[in-house]
Amino acid sequence: MKLNLACADFTFPLLPHEKVLDLIALLGFEGVDIGLFEKRSHLQPSQEFRNIGRSARNLARRLGDRGLRPADVFLQVDGSFVTFASNHPEARKRRKARDWFEKTIEYATGCGARHVTGLPGADFNGVPHAESFRRCCEELAWRVEKARDARITFSVEAHIGSVVPKPRDAQRLVRSVPGLTLTLDYTHFAYLGLPDSAVEPLVAHASHFHARGGRRGRLQCSFKDNTIDYRRILRVMDRTGYPGYIGVEYVWTEWQRCNEVDNLSETVLFRDFFRKHFNPILRRTRA
C-alpha cells in the first residue's frame, strides 16, 4: 500500500478555484478531489458540461501547472441529494441523472481522472424501501457498466439520509451490484454512534476514502474532538490492500453545522497525521 493523499477543492469554497488549487499544491497534496456539485461548488455541472472537452482540458491544465492529479470527480446533480437521486420514482428525473452521469464520465476522462464518485440514492415517501433499493441497484449497475467502458472506477458514498445509511446496508448494496465500489467516509457512521468495528468490513469494498474529524452527533468536527481511530483504519487498509487515495475532506456548509471548524488548520492536522503514522503503522502491521 502506498500513501496517496488528496484534498477536496470544495474544502475552501470562499476562495476562487485557481487559488484553491494553489493552496492545495502549497500544502503538499498530490491529488485533488474535484467537486461537481450543482448549486454549491466552484465547478458546477451545468456550466462545465456546456463544452465538456474544453472544460476538462482547462481543468487538466490547471492541475498540471501545479503538479496535481485528479484523485476523484464527485458528481452531485442538485443541492439536495433527493431531487435527482439515481433511484428517483420519476423516470424523467432518472433520465437527467443518467445524462449528467454520462457527461461526468466524459469530463473525468478528459481531465485525466480514473475515479468517479456518486450518491447511492434515497428513500421516498409512499415508496417501499425494497422498491427504492431495487431501483437503486438497477441504476447503479448501469453506471458501473458505463464507467467500466471508459476504464474508470465508479463508487458511491453511503451517507446519512441515503437509501443505505448504515454499514450493513452499504455492504448489501455492493454485494448486489457487481463492480460497484465505495467512497468510504466513516464520519457518516460515527455520527450515528456506530463503532469503527461496524464500519471496518467496508474497507475491502472501498476505492476512495474521505477523512476528517467526526463523532457521535457531529458529522464534522475538529481533529481534537474526533473519535474515529484512523490508525486502526490504516492497518485495515494495509491488510486488505486498499488501492486508492485518502482524501482529506473538510466541507464548509451550514448542513449538519459543517461550518464550525477551521478547515485549513484541520486539513493540515490530518495531512500531518497520515504522513507521520503511515509508515510506522504499516511496519508494525507487517512485523
Residue range 38-60: mean pLDDT, rounded: 97
**287 has pLDDT over 60:** no
**85 has pLDDT over 60:** yes
**111 has pLDDT over 80:** yes
Number of domains in the chain: 1
What are the distances in angstroms from CA 129 to CA 89, 124, 175?
12, 8, 17
The cell numbers describing 61, all together, are: 491544465
Give this prediction's pTM. 0.96
**283 has pLDDT over 90:** no
Strand 213-215 relative to strand 218-221, pairing: antiparallel
- Structural domain for 120, as ranges: 5-286
Task: Quote the pLDDT of residue 169.
Answer: 98
Q: Which residues pair with 116 in a beta bridge?
A: 73, 154
Task: Quote the pLDDT of residue 1.
Answer: 80
CATH code of the domain in which 47 resides: 3.20.20.150
201, 186, 205: which is closest to 247 by C-alpha? 186
Ramachandran assignment for 140, one of left (phi > 0), alpha (psi -120 to 50 degrees), beta (any other): alpha
Show the DSSP H helices in the chain as ranges: 17-26, 45-48, 52-65, 91-111, 129-149, 167-176, 187-190, 196-199, 230-240, 263-286
Residue range 35-57: mean pLDDT, rounded: 97
